[in-house]
Structure 1
Amino acid sequence: MSGDFEVADYVVLALVLVGSSLIGVYYAWASRHKGNSKDFLTGGRSMTALPVSMSLTASFMSSNTLLANPAEVYRYGAIFGLLFFGYVLTIVITSEIFLPVFYRLALTSTYEYLELRFNRVTRLLGTVLFMIQTILYTGIIIYGPALALSQVTDVDLWGGIFSTGAVCILYCTLGGLKAVVWTDVFQIAIMLAGYLSVTIMCVNLQGGFANIISDSQQGGRINMWDFDMNPQRRHTFWTLTIGGTCGWVAVFGINQAPVQRYVSCKSIAHARAALYINLVGLSCFLMCSVFAGMCLYSVYKNCDPWTAGLISTTDQLMPYLVVDTLTGSPGLSGLFVAAVLSGSLRFLHHIKLSSSINALAAVTIEDLIKPYTNLSEKQLTWLSRAMTISYGVLCIAMAGLSSVMGGIMQATVTISGILAGPLLGLFTMGIICPFANTKGGLTGVVSGLIVSVSVCVVSLISPPPPEMTRPLPLTTDGCNFTTTGSLNWTSPTAPTEPSTITTTAPVQITDGIHLHSVSYLYFCLIGTVTAIIVGLIASLFTGGWKERVDSRLMLMKEDTILYHTFTFCRDRVMRRTGKLDLIMNGNEKSGDTNPAFSDTEMY
């Protein structure tokens, strides 16, 4: 399908590219005579809820959202949408536990907390793990969309990688966090427009929503409720809710990029509002991903491009669909590819890249340079810009190495499972367990790393069998291979016959559960739980019960909305009870002084 892009499509891509760059230039010009390194990295703590919430949403709409998530629905069904419950629990936990502590301390780097709560060694360990995770993950999210889209457009793989990095470094270096936030706001509109363009065209092509839902139902893609507790199962209610919650709390609760955003809000009320508005955005994109996966299946239910060998990986399905269905509408192909190129390959993943390198610069300045030097604020600001450029170049280099790390989803989950889980356990211990001490924290995070690495490695070597992952059948029965050099599909109105060519092996249920090959969604949970359990036990055995912790570093009941809700309800009940008592006591007093009941009067 390469070469089907028209001039209008490239114009749309160029406009998004230029728009993203101009935002960084504007904020660099507007703030040229004021501010310091802290303003550069936190936006001067003057941001409001709406732009920060949109930035949070856009920052985590990665290649998984725009490319891998629809492909997951195409292969495994709409049960992936149950991740919504994980989103809800994530926002509640982040708002109630992590946000109050980080906002109260006004931290530029989340890893400053580890030094305040434990010691400098713990902070350095957390910083190093974060930097490794971010660099590897950023390389993946540049490389993955570039690989997928290079198969179906004229966008060169390395051209896409270098363009993404160059634009991101430009606006992120010039404008700081405010440029990142407002570019995110601009890009999220591009994401929504791109998703809408392809879904609307698919709805028109397939004859309406009802036909898409019907095709998905007949193909087994409407498989929403599965309460099987077997941890080997790829997608169930439990893996998506529990495992998904843990994975996303590791992102929103302790990851530098989102914490840096909500700490930049002018008040904790704005920060909380940003998180909950962000929940709406995450849910919208999840629904778009699920419906996009249904559209994929409806269009290709009779002729799967992956099985037919037209694409090399399912991550290429969405861009293939776009080029296949929107080529007759000049500009629309460019609009969606601007959402995937913008959000996944070039522009929207330049959001993710910009978030990452800005966060890396913040951590490096606050954790590794500022404590050991006496540099002025002006010098630190310029050093922040230099760090941003350096990390941008490093992330681009990592994108070239990502080709040896497997698929997008596999590489992403592997990195998150190994590194994010133990760190989440360490932060959780510090915030809610007053008896957790330094020895326990270090022992816990190291143990979590060892266990999570072991689980991930063994799971990659011995993955769950097909009867546990349960990929749904795909077919090429409707393909017409008679035309040389091209592939034609049968009429969309032709009756769908039962699939005879599938990509799945016959399902054979085996006895027993092999915990070494659990669902990829549990990787982070395993690392977190291991770190907490081992850390708390080690703390108790090393005198943790004698620990005295500054109350500012711990979660206090007054920090939570739940506490204030409880006290509000209690006060209302008490006031009502008090009024009732007053009325009752007043009646009794009135009865006692009534002359009719006076002893003298009676006498």
Structure 2
Amino acid sequence: MAGGGGAVATFSVWDYVVFAGMILGAAGIGLFQAIRGRKENSTAEFLLGGRQMTAVPVAMSLTASFMSGITVIGTPAEAYIYGTSFWLFAFSYAIMSTISAEIFVPLFYRLGITSTYEYLELRFSKVVRVVGTTMYIVQTALYTGMVIYAPALALNQITGLDLWGVLVATGIVCIIYCTLGGLKAVIWTDVFQMVIMLAGFLSVIIRGSVLQGGIGKIWEDNQKGGRLDSFSFDPDPLRRHSFWTIVVGGSLMWVSMYAINQSQVQRYISCKTMTHAKMSLYVNLLGLWTTVSLAMLCGLTMYSIYKDCDPLNNKDVASSDQLLPYLVMDILAEYPGLPGLFVAAAYSGTLSTVSSSINALVAVTVEDFVRPLWPNLSQKQASWINMGMSVFFGALCISMAAIASMMGSILQAALSIFGMISGPLLGLFLMGMFFHCANSTGGLVGLLSGLVLTLWVGIGAQVYPPLLTKTRPLPLSVAGCDSQDINLTTTLAAWTSAALPTSVPSVRPALADSWYSLSYLYFCPLGMLVTMVIGLIVSAISGGCKQEKIPPELFVRKEDLICFGCRKKHTMNSDTDLIEKVGPDSLYGMDNPYFTETDLKQKKDDNITVC
């Protein structure tokens, strides 16, 4: 039946067994980590894995954290509809890994922070920190809800799995191993889920190659279909995907995800040395390259199979996010358990993202809101709060998924949320790290200005979707379908798993075809630049150049950028200015709940590579 259109098989008993086994395996890892670490029930152990993690598992966790179910299902659909331009993100990943490892890791690792936004208070003020943390919480809760809902909806419509049963099961499993096992459970579960994701991709590619007569035939079919000629060097910022939007805009968007996003920073800060922290980002680069390549090959395989009978135009599926599940049930159903493996792959992506988000949300909430209110919490009280917050944020993410089910058009908005919110935050961090004249007033005004501007363009793009004049879907045929009752004018201008609304407002303002049509990949650079420019101007006007001396530890050092191969000892004694700046509750101070007297002595004796 492959390639001919029509209904496909549904899940078998063995598929359910494989899928359930994956969920139980993930929960089991959380229980194992909880039992293993029951004698080390401290906040540092729960949120940072005791700062004893190594590069490879952290790297796999970094990769899995943003390889969500949306990525597993949506990236192949992107290749099927638009071709291989998405592969250019390989350049973005390389740029992102280098910037994050060589600029941000040395700074954050030196400071020994738990919440990324602690830096904003050290560099600017408490108000700036609270605003930054609030933006992060809203962004992460919204995005995580969409991550839960989007693949659940697609798989429900294709496989028959109960939508709300899977949604609740996903949340409960994440709550279990986040609550009981902390960051170690999240990281080691991510490793397990990363393997499952790659296995799911490989099963589709291998079976598709057998059906089509090899990878060479698949490549040939895509070349004839124009899928391999989709690279564009058009500098037009309104073009959805081009070399410039992906390499420039995409690189900065991914920097905002890895360099300052709590769920990622929390991972490499958990490494036992700075060398491991940096290496985790470079090994993660290999993971990202592998994942995006396999996802794109899945899309090319799907086109080779359906080149003469597009399931979307043939109304076999309702939207682009159902294409890959449809293919899986079409070509793998005769092998009991393999469709279950793919569903496990999609949900592995979802579980890894959700668990990472819950753990990060707990970290920033406890650090930025709970600790300042109750600074004298005991370790036992802090541990109970950590677990309680894990349950709360798990329930919140499930609730956001429920809201998403009633707001179909918000799905695409959620996929651009990182650009709209992380862009201004990235600008704020860069301003603080590189410009001595930047002050609290300038930072706050710049941040809010950048946020307002990116929300304006981002929300406007959802209300008035860009017309298909700059980026059109590549041709799809239905000539070989068994049924000719088809719709030849379907709209497919979606990013990953979300399709554009089927209708657009009849009255479009003047900005709709210019400002609101800006590529979503430029939301982050726009927010970053506006934040920095306005922030520096306001800082200069409000006396930023005359402010008191700022500890040098809060800035990126020249050695971090230009020193390769040298080793330099960094000890606690060199942080006197920083301790004086922030008082006895300094990150390195004796009153800090994350550092015991033994920890402080060990830090003084440690030789940490800072360049």
Residue 128 of structure 1 aligns with which residue?
Answer: 134
- Which stretch shows the higher mean deviation, 57-66 or 456-465? 456-465
Q: Is the 8 A contact 2:9 2:329 kept in 1?
A: no
Q: How far 1:541 sits from its partner (Å)?
A: 1.3
Q: For the residues of structure 1 that align with 2:567 and 2:265, how far apart are their CA atoms?
A: 28
Q: For the residues of structure 2 that align with 1:104 and 1:224, how far apart are their CA atoms?
A: 43
Q: Is the 8 A contact 1:473 1:504 kept in 2?
A: no
Q: Is the 8 A contact 1:432 1:554 kept in 2?
A: yes
Matches within 5 A, 1:215-364: 215-343=221-349, 349-364=350-365
Question: Alpha-carbon deviations, 1:438-497, whole Å to 9, x = none?
Answer: 0110011000011001111222233332120221111212111289xxx9xxxxxxxxxx
Give the SS at the match of 1:516. Answer: helix
The amino acid that maps onto 1:367 is D
Question: Alpha-carbon deviations, 1:373-424, whole Å to 9, x = none?
Answer: 1211111011100000010001001001113444686223332232111111
Residue 532 of structure 1 aligns with which residue?
Answer: 532
Matches within 5 A, 1:443-462: 443-462=445-464
Q: Is the 8 A contact 1:64 1:408 kept in 2?
A: no
Question: Alpha-carbon deviations, 1:151-195, whole Å to 9, x = none?
Answer: 111211101100100101001110000000000111111111111
Task: Select which of 97, 102, 106 maps to 1:96.
Answer: 102
Residue 197 of structure 2 aligns with which residue?
Answer: 191
Q: For the residues of structure 1 that align with 2:286 and 2:409, how far apart are their CA atoms?
A: 29
Matches within 5 A, 1:121-200: 121-200=127-206
Q: For the residues of structure 1 that align with 2:290 and 2:177, how far apart are their CA atoms?
A: 27
The amino acid that maps onto 1:525 is P
Residue 554 of structure 1 aligns with which residue?
Answer: 555
Q: Is the 8 A contact 2:409 2:462 kept in 1?
A: no
- Which stretch shows the higher mean deviation, 320-329 or 93-102? 93-102
Q: For the residues of structure 2 that align with 1:352 and 1:429, how far apart are their CA atoms?
A: 29
Q: For the residues of structure 1 that align with 2:42 and 2:138, how far apart are their CA atoms?
A: 27
Residue 400 of structure 1 aligns with which residue?
Answer: 402
Give the SS at the match of 1:308. Answer: coil
Give the SS at the match of 1:305. Answer: coil
C-alpha change, 1:398 and 1:546, in structure 2 (3 Å) is same
Q: For the residues of structure 1 that align with 2:518 and 2:468, how far apart are their CA atoms?
A: 13
Task: Select which of 53, 60, 65 maps to 2:71.
Answer: 65
Matches within 5 A, 1:379-418: 379-406=381-408, 410-418=412-420
Greater CA radius of gyration, 1 or 2? 1
The amino acid that maps onto 1:225 is F
Q: For the residues of structure 2 that align with 1:184 and 1:89, how far apart are their CA atoms?
A: 24
Q: How far 1:14 sits from its partner (Å)?
A: 1.6
The amino acid that maps onto 2:423 is G
Q: For the residues of structure 2 that align with 1:70 and 1:134, how far apart are their CA atoms?
A: 24
**Are residues 1:12 and 2:14 paired?**
no
Q: For the residues of structure 2 that align with 1:277 and 1:297, how far apart are their CA atoms?
A: 31
Q: Identity of paired residues, percent?
A: 50
The amino acid that maps onto 1:357 is I
C-alpha change, 1:475 and 1:217, in structure 2 (3 Å) is same
Question: Alpha-carbon deviations, 1:535-594, whole Å to 9, x = none?
Answer: 11111111111232211111001223x3236999xxxxxxxxxxxxxxxxxxxxxxxxxx
Residue 490 of structure 1 aligns with which residue?
Answer: none
- TM, length-normalised to structure 1: 0.87
Q: Is the 8 A contact 1:302 1:479 kept in 2?
A: yes
Give the SS at the match of 2:233. Answer: coil
The amino acid that maps onto 1:351 is S
Unaligned runs of 5+ in 1: 344-348, 488-499, 506-511, 569-603
Q: For the residues of structure 1 that align with 2:448 and 2:383, how far apart are their CA atoms?
A: 34
Q: For the residues of structure 2 that align with 1:383 and 1:341, how far apart are their CA atoms?
A: 28
The amino acid that maps onto 1:549 is I
Q: Is the 8 A contact 2:143 2:415 kept in 1?
A: no
Question: Alpha-carbon deviations, 1:73-100, whole Å to 9, x = none?
Answer: 1111101100111111101111122111
Q: How far 1:31 sits from its partner (Å)?
A: 1.5
Residue 463 of structure 1 aligns with which residue?
Answer: 465
Q: For the residues of structure 1 that align with 2:385 and 2:10, how far apart are their CA atoms?
A: 44
Q: How far 1:2 sits from its partner (Å)?
A: 7.1
Q: Is the 8 A contact 1:326 1:332 kept in 2?
A: yes
Q: Is the 8 A contact 2:428 2:447 kept in 1?
A: yes
Number of equivalenced pairs:
541
- TM, length-normalised to structure 2: 0.86
C-alpha change, 1:243 and 1:550, in structure 2 (3 Å) is same
Q: How far 1:224 sits from its partner (Å)?
A: 4.7
The amino acid that maps onto 2:541 is F
Question: Alpha-carbon deviations, 1:53-83, whole Å to 9, x = none?
Answer: 0111111111332011111111111011001
Residue 497 of structure 1 aligns with which residue?
Answer: none
Q: How far 1:49 sits from its partner (Å)?
A: 0.4
Residue 515 of structure 1 aligns with which residue?
Answer: 515
Give the SS at the match of 1:470. Answer: coil
Residue 600 of structure 1 aligns with which residue?
Answer: none
C-alpha change, 1:325 and 1:3, in structure 2 (3 Å) is closer
Q: For the residues of structure 2 that align with 1:125 and 1:293, how far apart are their CA atoms?
A: 40
Residue 54 of structure 1 aligns with which residue?
Answer: 60
Give the SS at the match of 1:436. Answer: coil
Question: Alpha-carbon deviations, 1:242-292, whole Å to 9, x = none?
Answer: 111111111101000010000000000000000000000000011111111
Give the SS at the match of 1:234. Answer: coil
Residue 477 of structure 2 aligns with which residue?
Answer: 475
Give the SS at the match of 1:468. Answer: coil
Q: How far 1:198 sits from its partner (Å)?
A: 0.7
Q: For the residues of structure 2 that align with 1:82 and 1:411, how far apart are their CA atoms?
A: 22
The amino acid that maps onto 2:533 is I
Residue 576 of structure 2 aligns with which residue?
Answer: none
Q: For the residues of structure 2 that align with 1:194 and 1:407, how far apart are their CA atoms?
A: 29
Residue 544 of structure 1 aligns with which residue?
Answer: 544
Question: Alpha-carbon deviations, 1:39-61, whole Å to 9, x = none?
Answer: 11000100010110011111111
Residue 32 of structure 1 aligns with which residue?
Answer: 38
Question: Alpha-carbon deviations, 1:103-142, whole Å to 9, x = none?
Answer: 1111110011111110100010011101000100000000
Q: For the residues of structure 1 that align with 2:519 and 2:54, how far apart are their CA atoms?
A: 38
Q: How far 1:4 sits from its partner (Å)?
A: 2.0
Q: For the residues of structure 2 that align with 1:4 and 1:517, how far apart are their CA atoms?
A: 40
Q: For the residues of structure 2 that align with 1:282 and 1:321, how far apart are their CA atoms?
A: 23
- Which structure has the highest helix share of the two? 1
Q: For the residues of structure 1 that align with 2:249 and 2:410, how far apart are their CA atoms?
A: 19
Q: Is the 8 A contact 1:2 1:154 kept in 2?
A: no
Q: Is the 8 A contact 2:124 2:439 kept in 1?
A: yes
Q: For the residues of structure 1 that align with 2:302 and 2:446, how far apart are their CA atoms?
A: 44
Q: For the residues of structure 2 that align with 1:419 and 1:151, how far apart are their CA atoms?
A: 32
- Which stretch shows the higher mean deviation, 441-450 or 91-100? 91-100
The amino acid that maps onto 2:346 is V
Q: Is the 8 A contact 2:308 2:480 kept in 1?
A: yes
Q: For the residues of structure 1 that align with 2:117 and 2:309, how far apart are their CA atoms?
A: 50
Q: For the residues of structure 2 that align with 1:544 and 1:234, how far apart are their CA atoms?
A: 39
C-alpha change, 1:296 and 1:418, in structure 2 (3 Å) is same
Q: How far 1:504 sits from its partner (Å)?
A: 6.8
Q: Is the 8 A contact 1:68 1:409 kept in 2?
A: no
